[in-house]
Amino acid sequence: METIKKLLTKKAPAKERPVEISEEVPIMEVSETPSERGLGEIEPIYVKSMNLQGAGDVQEIANELQKGNIVIVDITPMMDEDPAELKRAIDQLKGITQGAGGDVGRLSESKIIATPKFVRIQFKRPA
Calculate the alpha carbon distances from 39 to 17, 36, 43, 66, 94 in Å: 47, 10, 10, 21, 34
pTM flag (> 0.75): no
CATH of domain 45-127: 3.30.110.150
Phi, psi of 66 (to 5 degrees): -65, -30
Q: How confident is the model at residue 7 (pLDDT cuts 50, 70, 90)?
A: very low
pLDDT tens digit string along 39-73? 677 788 899 999 998 888 999 999 999 999 999 99
What is the pLDDT at residue 123? 77
60 Cβ contact partners less than 8 Å away, ≥ 6 residues apart: 50
Q: What is the mean pLDDT of residues 3-21?
A: 49
Q: 52, 41, 45: which is closest to 116 by C-alpha?
A: 45
